[in-house]
Amino acid sequence: MRNKLVLLSTLSLLTCTVVPASAQQVSIGFWSPNVSIGINLPMYPDLVPVPGYPVYYAPRLNSNYFFYDGMYWVYLDDNWYASSWYNGPWGLVAPEYVPLFILRIPVRYYRQPPMYFRGWQSDAPPRWGEHWGNDWERRRSGWNRWNRNAVPGRPPLPLYQRNYSGDRYPHQVEQQQELHSQNYRYQPRDPVVRLQYQAQRTQSAPAPIQHEKQDMTPERKSVWPGGNQRSNPPRDIQQSAPSAPQTQAPPLKNRPSLQQGQQPEQKAAPRQRPEQRDVQRQRHSEQRNVQNQQPAPQSRSQETRPQGNEAQQEPKRRQRSGKEKDRER
């Protein structure tokens, strides 16, 4: 019976154990946006300056709630969170990127100090090196040493956020940024806070449209005269582009346009030198002499004429030639 009671009590403890949401968060880098930390403020909190520090704290809240360099800071379950609006959404900040003056806040201003704060000096900052280890202490060496006479001034509080409480509170990050830029001109001065502020604005920005990325790929992008970048050439250039490269004669200046039915003028032959004309004349005369020396072509009937006729006419030619000789004598 006793063993059963022990078993039942063990099971009840396991079922009633609740793991906080912040303990499940894993820090990758210095900023993890949109983390729910279980803090819900119905209205703007009362913030009081911490003497000797450029920091405000909320004495009426039952949480470790601060304001520094234009952003709200909360320490809960061994994690630091930051936001530009008093009720979030919150971003998880890694211990290596917590601002120095947040780390230097004395223990007495933590309204819900963790158990390991007990025994530490109340007017001194927490012993972060003992809690987070030697590696953190080595990276953030000198974090608890500073000139107390050269502390920067406190930034102005974004009191315009008092007008946005309850149902009027803007939960959309884009709307928060728009209102913040219109009503709060202060910009963070701490380099670490500036990085977190920019990261919050960048991660909440909408992603670009997918087809715009495709249009700007190097394979399809081309630059046309005039400096305009286009993914494809204009339609008129596509239609007038030839299928194969062609060589064209250069345009003639002051060339008269031809009317319909008019023939283009023929170019006059280039003038020849006197030596060239003599050579051409000699060639023409030689060609005519050769043509004259060649026998005239005979018809096929004459070529096939029988040789008997020539034999009959031969004595007559001899008689005529004999008579001509006698006359000469």
Contact 158, 183 (CB under 8 A): yes
The mean-pLDDT minimum among 20-29, 173-182, 253-262, 282-291 falls in 20-29
DSSP code per residue over 142-175 = TTT---GGGPPPPPPP-GGGGG--GGG---SHHH
Separation of alpha carbons 47 and 158, rounded Å? 11
Q: Bridge partners of 81?
A: 74, 92
Q: Where are the beta strands (DSSP E) in the chain?
A: 32-35, 48-49, 56-57, 64-68, 71-76, 79-83, 90-93, 222-223, 229-230
Comparison of pLDDT for 307 and 146, the residue scoring more: 146
Q: How many C-beta atoms surround the C-beta of residue 117 within 10 A?
A: 15
pLDDT tens by residue, 244-282 = 445 555 555 455 555 555 555 555 555 656 666 676 777
Q: Which sequence spans correspond to the domains of the chain?
A: 24-196
44: DSSP letter: P
Q: Which tens digit of pLDDT belongs to each residue from 212-241?
A: 444 444 444 433 333 444 444 444 434 444
User: Which residues, 6+ apart, have CB-to-CB distance to 123 below 8 Å?
Assistant: 106, 107, 108
